[in-house]
């Protein structure tokens, strides 16, 4: 068994995931712009749901890109 990851939002005792904190949201997205899974990111179920909503809302407001340019 591997070491259990602690949720970074729970460690800070964050009440919610803020959609305006784009630098933090980008840490939980892949290079292609996809949202990382709970297993990969180590976020708890409650904050994962909030994270998904925050990323989608930030994308809607054009604060985050929907897809990054991966041109060769």
What's the CA dihedral at 21, 24, 27, 30 to 10 degrees? -10
pLDDT above 60: residue 6 = yes
- The domain spans of the chain are 8-60
Rounded to whole angstroms, how far apart are CA atoms 58 and 55?
5
* 3-class secondary structure, 6: coil
- Read off the pLDDT of each residue in 11-38 and give the average, rounded to a whole number: 94
pLDDT tens-digit map of 25-62: 999 999 999 999 999 999 999 999 999 999 999 999 99
pTM of the model: 0.85
The highest-level CATH class for domain 8-60 is few secondary structures
The pLDDT assigned to 13 comes to 94
Q: Which two tokens stand for residue 21?
A: 């904190």
Return the number of other C-beta atoms located less than 10 Å from residue 68's C-beta. 14
């Amino acid at each position: 068994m591997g070491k259990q990851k602690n949720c970074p939002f729970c460690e800070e005792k964050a009440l919610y995931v803020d959609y305006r904190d784009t630098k933090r949201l980008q840490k939980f997205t892949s290079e292609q712009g996809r949202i990382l899974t709970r297993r990969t990111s180590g976020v708890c179920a409650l904050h994962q749901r909030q994270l998904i909503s925050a990323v989608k809302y930030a994308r809607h407001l054009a604060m985050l890109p929907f897809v990054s340019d991966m041109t060769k």
